[in-house]
Amino acid sequence: DIDEAFVLSSFEIATEYLKSCFSFIFKASEEKVDAYTIGTWSSKISYNSVKKHGTAEDIARLPPPNFPTLWNKSCGRKFLLEDEIVHDAGPGQFIYQDRAWCIPESFQFPEKINRLEGWRRWLQGAIHVDGAKKWWIKPYRKLCHSDLHSAQLRNAFTIEWKPIFTKMMEAPGLEIPTELKDIDEAFVLSSFEIATEYLKSCFSFIFKASEEKVDAYTIGTWSSKISYNSVKKHGTAEDIAKLPPPTARNKNKSCEGSNPGKRGRDVTWHHADEAPANPEKQRRTQEATKADIAWHLP
């Protein structure tokens, strides 16, 4: 029953529907629109593309991003959208490695994610597909090291996620609602703008690049750029003046011994655990070792 006539008529119906949802796309010439590939179409109708380029009417028709459920505020429960079952990943939901976890063993932080999408996950959480099931992972800001089952996850969380987003949460006047149901897309976007202005006031040197380039920075790049040493090296005088006092981990340490050795005479360590051992501690350790050896000698 699906003949060419049906293909053409259904195509016209579907195209009219697209025009009603994504009118900004059809502002280009008909020849140009007809030449779009399906990859271009899928990119143009994406949530972020519509938020950036769509008309007010287009944006108003958008569903909540990455949010599989809506909240029934009268009873505080969730109801499903489009019959899509998404399970809540509660405490101790998953058993592996001889203990209970709140995330599946297959969970990984997304790679090369931009700051807005990362902020959305930081505030709201996100869907994770594990086998045939979909799980809603709690807001990433509520994760802790004991929730993460591998060194790789813990490093990604500590090095890439926490620095930039904890800094954004310090923005003056920004208060994160305690109830997840109150963190809707409008709040995500408004809080993102507030936090971005705060970043501009602290790290103005980063925003000297083009807006397109800055928007494309991954969260790992952001966390690297706002680090103490990065600001000391690349920041403006105003940026540097706003830095907190250096800590053992971000204060450069140099080795100025009389024996340069393989690494040269003047060496800078960027982390405390890379610096040479404490001589006094080494001496005590050596004495204790000698005493232990003497104790065991006949």
Q: What crossing angle do the helices spanning 185-202 and 115-124 adopt, rounded to 10°?
A: 120
CA separation for the pair 28, 26 (Å, rounded): 5
CA separation for the pair 93, 193 (Å, rounded): 35
Note down pLDDT in tens along the chain; length 298 residues.
888 999 999 999 999 999 999 999 999 999 999 999 998 898 898 888 888 899 988 888 876 554 444 433 333 334 444 335 788 888 889 999 999 999 999 999 998 889 999 999 999 999 998 888 889 999 999 999 999 999 999 999 999 999 999 999 999 999 999 888 889 889 999 999 999 999 999 999 999 999 999 999 999 999 999 999 999 999 999 999 999 887 766 654 333 333 444 333 333 333 333 344 555 555 554 554 444 434 333 3
Residue 68 and residue 117 in contact, taking contact as beta carbons nearer than 8 Å: no
Q: Which of 42, 51, 37, 39 is nearest to 18 (CA)?
A: 42
* Residue range 178-229, pLDDT digits in tens: 888 889 889 999 999 999 999 999 999 999 999 999 999 999 999 999 999 9
Task: Please report, to the nearest 10 degrees, the dihedral formed by the alpha carbons of residues 8, 83, 134, 59 taken in order.
Answer: 60
- Strand residue runs (E) in the chain: 69-72, 77-80, 87-88, 94-96, 99-101, 126-130, 133-137, 253-255, 267-269
Kind of pairing, strands 87-88 and 133-137?
Answer: parallel
DSSP per-residue letters across 253-265: EEE--S---TT-S
Q: How open is the CA angle 9-10-16, to the nearest 5 degrees? A: 95
Phi, psi of 26 (to 5 degrees): -85, 5
Query: What's the pTM value of the predicted model, to 2 decimals?
Result: 0.59
How far, in Å, are 31, 38, 47, 48, 188 from residue 185 at the CA level? 35, 27, 11, 12, 5
